[in-house]
Amino acid sequence: MSALLEGRQRKALAASYFAFYAILGLMVPYLSLYLDHLGFNSAQIGWMLAILFATRMVAPNIWAALSDRLGTPVRIIRAGALTAAFTYLGLFVAKEFLVLAVVMGIYTFFWNAILAQLEVVTLTTLADRPQDYGGLRSFGSVGYIVLVVGAGWWFGVRGPADLPWIGLVLFLALVGASMALTEVAPRERDDAETDVPFMSQLFQRPVLLFLLSAMLLQASHGPFYTFYVLYLRGLGLAESTAGVLVALGVLAEIGIFLLAPRLLGRYSVRSLMVLCCLLTSVRWAVTGDAGDSLMLHGLAQTLHAFSFGLAHACGIQFIHRNFSSGHQGKAQALYASTSFGLGGAIGAYISGQLWHNGAGASLTWSLASAAAVAAVTGLALMGKGQERDGRRQ
């Protein structure tokens, strides 16, 4: 790829990340607000949000298998963006629970097909400089912040009824960004590596242990994604304060994405992932003991740089290094569905049960901290010298 074409490709990738995570920044915090505006009760809203988790576990793997067979991940990204935008139009007319649930299931099925393929295209484009991934991915974090803050202000002024229109604009932006992407041929690997079946690469002990650790790490985020705002409100802190704290965490995430190339160039993925898990454990312990101290909550939120930002960069790199080029789509999709899909769903369910049954916030945060420590155990069992193409073990 020429320098000029690569420059255009990087801009298109940055725009794609921005648009994809801007949609996430709209839907995750504010979809429940919109559904409440439509008159749905809390149980119905919970089912709607569960649909996003369910499609996130299933859709990436289905689309990745197709992408690896065709060898055209950009085509999958474009098809996913176009179909998601078209089916998203159902939000303008769906008002009944079952109809809206079907619309949610369809458009999120296509939307969740995009990210894993975007990661594949990014790492293929970067070729011998995969450590530059963090800089491109940081545009997604910027998109998330812009929509969390901007949409929050807009809904405060006009109410949540405009959510479908804002989402449509973002989906059209994602379509436009995907059209600017170019298919890139993966770097050549030797015949022995190319012929290794996907399942043989997956069932390597280090790979399975890494996926288990990634799942546990994301499961530890369950109380945060599900109850953090309610938890702070119970401590006497306003929702606006919670928004500022969440934005602080995402700003820290951007900072670590910019530093990730240096860190991944100097230290092994495994070592950095251990650090992320340990600091995540500290984050949840501090969150559970902070009371109404804004300073302590702010400190805990800055650790989002490690619990999500650097950990995600490490996960993408590990998968890229341990699966051959012909299986990158399936591998990245499996990582996403195992960690963020299955891990996120398990964490949300367990923390919800604990919260609902009166176990208390303190115990819930303590168990989240313990889950992050358990993730370290899995990484330790991998052993040294197991990371393919790693810098140093």
Instruction: Classify each residue of 25-41 as buried b or exposed e, where b means 16 or more C-beta atoms within 10 Å of its C-beta.
Output: bbbbbbbbebbeeeebe
Residue labelled with tokens 């197709």? 66
Based on the fold, state whether residues 167 and 284 are members of the same structural domain: no
pLDDT at 385 (0 to 100): 52
Based on the fold, state whether residues 253 and 335 are members of the same structural domain: yes
In a domain, 392, yes or no: no
Domain end point (choices 127, 159, 183): 183
Based on the fold, state whether residues 368 and 309 are members of the same structural domain: yes
Based on the fold, state whether residues 283 and 360 are members of the same structural domain: yes
Q: Is 39 helix (H, G, I), strand (E, B) or coil?
A: coil
Residues spanned by the domain of 52: 1-183
Based on the fold, state whether residues 283 and 235 are members of the same structural domain: yes
Based on the fold, state whether residues 115 and 225 are members of the same structural domain: no
C-alpha 349: how far from chain center = 18
Based on the fold, state whether residues 20 and 165 are members of the same structural domain: yes
CATH no. for residue 88? 1.20.1250.20
In a domain, 191, yes or no: no
Based on the fold, state whether residues 226 and 126 are members of the same structural domain: no
In a domain, 105, yes or no: yes
Based on the fold, state whether residues 155 and 201 are members of the same structural domain: no
pLDDT at 363 (0 to 100): 87
In a domain, 114, yes or no: yes
DSSP string, 188-219: P--HHHHTS-HHHHHTSHHHHHHHHHHHHHHH
Based on the fold, state whether residues 179 and 242 are members of the same structural domain: no
Residue 236 φ/ψ region, left for φ over 0, alpha for ψ in the -120 to 50 degree band, beta for the rest: left
In a domain, 393, yes or no: no
pLDDT at 119 (0 to 100): 83
Does residue 184 contact residue 125 with C-beta atoms inside 8 Å?
yes
In a domain, 19, yes or no: yes
In a domain, 302, yes or no: yes
Backbone phi, psi, residue 376, to 5°:
-65, -40
Domain end point (choices 122, 149, 183): 183
Based on the fold, state whether residues 291 and 323 are members of the same structural domain: yes
pLDDT at 389 (0 to 100): 46
pLDDT at 393 (0 to 100): 35
Residue 248: half-sphere exposure toward Cβ, Cα within 13 Å: 16
Q: Alpha carbon of 159 to those of 46, 238, 240, 246: distances in Å?
A: 21, 18, 15, 21
Residues of the chain short of pLDDT 50, as ranges, are 191-192, 389-393
Domain end point (choices 135, 155, 183): 183
Does residue 327 contact residue 148 with C-beta atoms inside 8 Å?
no
Based on the fold, state whether residues 206 and 176 are members of the same structural domain: no
Separation between Cα atoms, residue 382 and residue 36, nearest integer Å: 46
Residue type, 325: S
Residue 303: half-sphere exposure toward Cβ, Cα within 13 Å: 23
In a domain, 342, yes or no: yes
Q: Could you give the number of structural domains in the chain?
A: 2
Does residue 336 contact residue 280 with C-beta atoms inside 8 Å?
no
